[in-house]
C-alpha cells in the first residue's frame, strides 16, 4: 500500500502573478546565482579583509558564518522569490502582509545604492585591464599610487562608471535567458579556468609559501574573539554571498517549482567560497613575493588596483599578461554580479507597474548613473556608501529576511521546500538555523557594523 505524502500547508496560489520568464534549466539558475555571488567582493574584499589580520581565524569565522548564517538566509531568499512569484518590491508584502511592505522598498534602495558604487569599481577594473594590455604596468609603489589616483577620480572614473552601467543595462534588457543566463553560462566557467591558471602560476612564485602562511594560515586563537576580525568576516560573508538585497529573490521568481533549492544554494555557496580562497591563493603569493605587504594593509579599496600591477611589473611581458588576465576575470566577475543588482529594481517596476523590460532597465540605469556620480568623483564617498549600503543596510535586509521566513511565515518556507521534494529533516534543520542561528547572529553583526559606522562618522 502506498502512502500519499501529506499535502503541503496551504498558502496563496503561487502561480498567480508569476512572471512568464523562466531559466532554461536548473543549472542556468545556479550559474546565474553563483555569478551574482562571485564578484569583486571575492577578489578584492576577501584579500583586503584577510590582510587586515586574523589569518586562519578570519578564514574559519568566514566559513562558519557562510555555512550557518548565509546559507539558510540564501535558501529563504530563494523560497520567498519562488513561492510568491513576485519581485523584491512586492514579495515581502505578499508573504507577510502590509507590515512587511517597507522591506520591499529597502531592497530597492540597497540594490540601487550598491550598484551605484559597484559600477564605479567595475569601471576601475575595466580601465586597469586596458592599461595592462595597452600601456605599461606601474613599476614602483609611488607610480602605482599616482596611477590609481588618476583612474579612481575625475573624468576617467565617471566614464568607466557610465560604460559599466550601460553594459549591465544591455545584458538585463536582453532578458533572463538571453541576457543574464547566457552571460553567466560562459562567464563563470571562464572565470574559474582563468583563476585556476593564475593560482597555479602564483604557487610557483618565490614568496608563495610565505604568502599563504601570513594571510591565510597563521593561527592565533585570540583572533576568534577579536571584534574587528568578527566584523570583517561577517561583512565579507554577506557581501560575497550577496544575500539580503533581493537579487537572489528576483532570480528565484524565474525558478522551476520542482528544483531542489537547498542543494542549489549549497552549490552557490561552495562556488563562491572556492573562488574567494582561490583568489587569495593568487593575491597573497604576489604580495609576499614582491614585498608589497605594507601597501596592501595600508590601503583600502585600492589594494587590488595598486598592489597587483606593481608586483607584476617586474615580470615583464608575463607580468603584463597575468595582470591583463586577472583584470579580465575581475571584470567578468563584476558584470555577472551587477546584472543581478539591476534586476532588483527592474523586475520590481515590471511587476508593480507592468512596464516593458526595456523601459524599466533604462529608467533604472539613468537614476543609478546619477547616484554613482559622488562615488565616481570621490573615493571617500565610495567607501562610505560601501559601509552604509554594502554593510549596515545589507545586513538589515538579511535580518528581515530571516525574521520574515523564520518567524512570520514559516509555513511558506515549509510548504515550498517540502512541495519540491526536500526531505523533512533538512527543511526542519534549515528553519531551525534560520530562526535560532541566523536571526540572532545577524542582529549581532548588524549592531557591530552600526557601531563601527557611527564610530567612523565620529572619528
Ligand atoms: N556578491 C558580489 C560580490 O562579491 O562582489 C556583490 C553583490 C552582488 C552584492 C549582488 C549583493 C548582491 F545582491
18 within domain boundaries: no
Q: Determine whether the shortest distance from the Cβ of 239 to ligand 1 is under 6 A.
A: yes
Average pLDDT, stretch 68-77?
Answer: 96
Please report the pLDDT score of residue 7 as a whole number: 43
Q: Is the CB of 269 under 6 A from ligand 1?
A: no
Does 37 score more than 90 pLDDT? Answer: yes
Instruction: Give the residue whose CA is nearest to atom 7 of ligand 1.
Output: 242
- Ligand 1 probe mutation, 36, 112, 348, most atoms within 8 A of CB: 36
Number of domains in the chain: 1
Answer yes or no: is 251 within a domain.
yes
pLDDT band at 9 (very low <50, low <70, confident <90, very high): very low
Q: Is 459 exposed, middle or buried (0-12, 13-18, 19+ CB in 10 A)?
A: exposed
Q: Which domain holds residue 288?
A: 26-458
Answer whether residue 6 shows pLDDT above 50: no
Alpha-carbon distance values, 337 to 111, 239, 265, 272 (Å)? 11, 11, 16, 12
Dist. CA 23–CA 255, nearest whole Å: 6
Buried-exposed string 147-165: b where 16+ CB fall within 10 A, e elsewhere: bbeebbeeeebbebbbebb
Residue 305 resides in a domain: yes
Instruction: Quote the ligand 1 centre to 144 CA distance (angstroms).
Output: 27
pLDDT over 70 at 434, yes or no? yes
Average pLDDT of the segment spanning 218-226: 86
Which ligand 1 atom sits closest to the C-alpha of 39?
A: 5
Q: Give the separation between CA 145 and CA 258, rounded to whole angstroms.
A: 52
Mean pLDDT over 104-128 rounds to 96
Mean pLDDT highest for which of 192-201, 211-220, 311-320?
Answer: 192-201
Residue 270 forms part of a structural domain: yes
Residues above pLDDT 90, as percent of the chain = 63
Is the distance from the beta carbon of residue 334 to the nearest atom of ligand 1 less than 6 Å?
A: no
**Cβ contacts of 328 within 8 Å, gap of 6 or more:** 129, 194
The verdict on residue 376 lying in a domain is yes
Q: Would you state the cell numbers that stand for residue 217, as one nine-digit string?
A: 594560515
Give me the half-sphere count of Cα atoms (radius 13 Å) on the Cβ side of residue 433. Answer: 20
CA of 242 to the centre of ligand 1 (A): 4
* 324/127 Cα distance (integer angstroms): 11
Pocket lining: 240 vs ligand 1, CB cutoff 6 Å = yes
pLDDT (mean) for 119-148: 86
The answer on pLDDT for 339 being more than 60 is: yes
The CB of 242 under 6 Å from ligand 1? The reply is yes
**Any domain includes 20:** no
Best residue among 43, 239, 250 to mutate for probing ligand 1, ranked by most atoms within 8 Å of CB: 239
90 lines ligand 1 (CB under 6 A): no
Is the per-residue pLDDT at 16 higher than 80? no
Supply the pLDDT for residue 285. Answer: 87
> Residue 100: its pLDDT value, please?
97
Q: Is residue 8 part of a domain?
A: no
**Ligand 1 within 6 A of CB of 243:** no
Mean pLDDT on 284-294? 76
Nearest to 253 by CA among 33, 25, 81, 32: 81
The answer to whether residue 202 scores a pLDDT higher than 60 is yes
If you average pLDDT over every residue of the chain, what do you get? 89
The pLDDT assigned to 15 comes to 46
Residue 21 within any structural domain of the chain: no
Q: What is the DSSP letter of 20?
A: S
395 CA to middle of ligand 1, Å?
13
Which pLDDT score is estimated for 287?
80
Rounded Cα gap, residues 271 and 193, in angstroms: 13
Query: In this predicted structure, which of 41-50, 119-128, 416-425 has the lowest mean pLDDT?
Result: 41-50
What confidence tier does 229 reach under pLDDT thresholds 50, 70, 90? Answer: confident
* For ligand 1, mutation pick of 117, 118, 368 (most atoms within 8 Å of CB): 118
230-254: average pLDDT: 93
pLDDT higher than 60, residue 116 = yes
Is residue 457 predicted with pLDDT exceeding 70? Answer: no
Ligand 1 proximity of 340 Cβ (cutoff 6 Å): yes
Average of per-residue pLDDT across 213-223: 83
What does the pLDDT read at residue 86? 96
- Which long-range contacts (C-beta less than 8 Å, at least 24 apart) are formed by 375-382? 375/116, 375/117, 375/120, 375/161, 376/120, 376/123, 376/153, 376/157, 376/158, 376/160, 376/161, 377/153, 377/154, 377/157, 377/158, 378/153, 379/152, 379/153, 379/301, 379/302, 382/117, 382/120, 382/121, 382/301
The residue-averaged pLDDT of 100-109 equals 97
The three-state (H, E, C) secondary structure of 35-97, written as one string: HHHCCHHHHHHHHHHHHCCCHHHHHHHHHHHHHHHHHHHHHHHHHHHHHHCCCCCCHHHHHHC
Predicted local confidence at residue 32, as pLDDT: 97
Contact assessment for residue 179 and residue 173, using Cβ atoms and an 8 Å cutoff: yes
Q: Above 90 in pLDDT, residue 230?
A: no
pLDDT band at 455 (very low <50, low <70, confident <90, very high): confident
**From CA 406, how far away is CA 414, in angstroms rounded?**
10
CA of 37 to the centre of ligand 1 (A): 5
Atom index in ligand 1 nearest the CA of residue 248 equals 13
Per-residue confidence (pLDDT) for residue 303, from 0 to 100:
66
Count Cβ atoms below 10 Å from residue 13 Cβ, excluding itself: 9
CATH code (residue 49): 1.20.1740
pLDDT band at 300 (very low <50, low <70, confident <90, very high): low
Alpha carbon distance 385, 377 (integer Å): 13
Ligand 1 near 341 CB (within 6 A): yes
Contact predicate 449/237, CB 8 Å: no
Going from the Cα of 207 to the center of ligand 1, the distance in angstroms, rounded, reads: 31
Confidence of residue 14 (pLDDT cuts 50, 70, 90): very low
Amino acid at each position: 500500500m502506498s502512502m500519499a505524502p501529506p499535502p503541503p500547508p496551504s498558502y496563496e496560489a503561487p502561480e498567480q502573478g508569476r512572471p512568464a520568464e523562466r531559466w532554461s534549466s536548473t543549472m542556468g539558475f545556479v550559474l546565474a546565482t553563483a555569478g551574482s555571488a562571485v564578484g569583486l567582493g571575492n577578489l578584492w574584499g576577501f584579500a583586503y579583509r584577510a590582510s587586515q589580520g586574523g589569518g586562519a581565524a578570519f578564514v574559519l569565522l568566514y566559513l562558519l558564518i557562510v555555512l550557518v548564517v548565509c546559507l539558510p538566509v540564501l535558501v529563504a531568499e530563494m523560497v520567498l522569490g519562488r513561492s510568491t512569484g513576485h519581485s523584491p518590491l512586492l514579495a515581502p508584502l505578499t508573504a507577510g502582509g502590509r507590515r512587511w511592505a517597507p522591506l520591499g522598498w529597502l531592497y530597492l534602495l540597497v540594490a540601487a545604492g550598491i550598484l551605484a558604487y559597484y559600477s564605479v569599481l567595475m569601471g576601475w577594473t575595466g580601465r586597469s585591464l586596458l592599461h595592462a594590455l595597452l600601456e605599461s604596468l606601474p613599476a614602483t609603489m609611488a607610480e602605482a599610487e599616482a596611477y590609481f589616483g588618476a583612474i579612481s577620480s575625475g573624468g576617467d572614473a565617471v566614464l568607466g562608471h557610465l560604460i559599466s552601467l550601460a553594459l549591465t543595462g544591455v545584458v538585463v534588457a536582453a532578458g533572463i535567458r538571453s541576457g543574464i543566463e547566457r552571460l553567466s553560462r560562459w562567464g563563470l566557467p571562464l572565470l574559474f579556468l582563468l583563476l585556476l591558471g593564475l593560482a597555479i602560476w602564483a604557487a610557483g612564485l618565490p614568496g608563495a609559501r610565505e604568502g599563504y602562511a601570513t594571510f591565510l594560515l597563521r593561527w592565533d586563537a585570540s583572533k576568534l574573539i577579536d571584534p574587528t576580525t568578527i566584523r570583517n568576516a561577517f561583512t565579507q560573508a554577506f557581501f560575497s554571498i550577496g544575500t539580503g538585497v533581493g537579487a537572489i529573490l528576483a532570480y528565484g521568481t524565474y525558478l522551476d517549482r520542482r528544483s531542489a533549492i537547498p542543494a542549489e544554494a549549497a552549490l552557490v555557496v561552495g562556488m563562491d567560497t572556492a573562488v574567494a580562497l582561490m583568489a587569495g591563493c593568487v593575491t597573497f603569493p604576489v604580495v609576499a613575493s614582491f614585498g608589497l605587504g605594507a601597501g596592501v594593509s595600508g590601503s583600502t579599496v585600492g589594494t587590488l588596483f595598486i598592489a597587483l600591477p606593481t608586483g607584476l611589473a617586474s615580470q615583464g611581458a608575463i607580468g603584463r599578461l597575468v595582470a591583463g588576465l586577472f583584470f579580465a576575470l575581475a571584470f567578468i566577475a563584476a558584470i555577472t554580479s551587477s546584472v543581478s543588482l539591476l534586476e532588483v529594481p527592474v523586475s520590481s517596476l515590471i511587476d508593480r507597474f507592468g512596464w516593458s523590460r526595456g523601459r524599466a532597465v533604462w529608467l533604472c540605469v539613468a537614476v543609478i548613473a546619477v547616484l554613482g556620480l559622488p562615488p565616481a568623483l570621490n573615493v571617500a564617498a565610495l567607501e562610505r556608501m560601501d559601509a552604509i549600503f554594502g554593510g549596515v543596510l545589507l545586513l538589515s535586509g538579511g535580518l528581515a529576511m530571516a525574521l520574515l521566513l523564520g518567524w512570520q511565515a514559516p509555513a511558506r518556507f515549509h510548504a515550498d521546500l517540502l512541495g519540491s521534494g526536500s526531505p523533512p529533516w533538512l527543511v526542519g534543520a534549515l528553519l531551525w538555523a534560520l530562526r535560532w542561528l541566523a536571526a540572532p547572529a545577524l542582529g549581532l553583526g548588524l549592531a557591530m557594523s552600526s557601531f563601527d559606522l557611527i564610530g567612523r562618522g565620529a572619528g
